[in-house]
Amino acid sequence: MARAILDYTKTILKKVSFDVHLFCKELKKAVKRLLPFEVEELRIWLLQYTADRPELYPSIALIEK
């Protein structure tokens, strides 16, 4: 089930990526909800996802250690 939550979180983040504020808000909620190893996996995904989306770069700071 934990994997399902991570996949759901990625889906939500993809859908709201048009709005930086909303993206950051959903990312903050995800970090609170996910387990530490899932947050690390989400961080890796986020770095890949935002590679060609410079407007989302501020969100990386929310998940960096």
* Alpha-carbon distances, residue 55 vs 2, 31, 36, 38 (angstroms): 29, 20, 26, 24
Q: Is the pLDDT of residue 65 over 80?
A: no
Q: Is pLDDT at 1 greater than 70 in this prediction?
A: no
The DSSP-derived string for 5-62 is HHHHHHHHHHHTTT-HHHHHHHHHHHHHHS-HHHHHHHHHHHHHHTTT-GGGHHHHHH
Q: Tell me which residue range forms the domain holding 57.
A: 2-63
pLDDT at 2: 62
Domain count, the chain: 1
- Cβ neighbors of 1 (< 8 A, separation 6 or more) are none
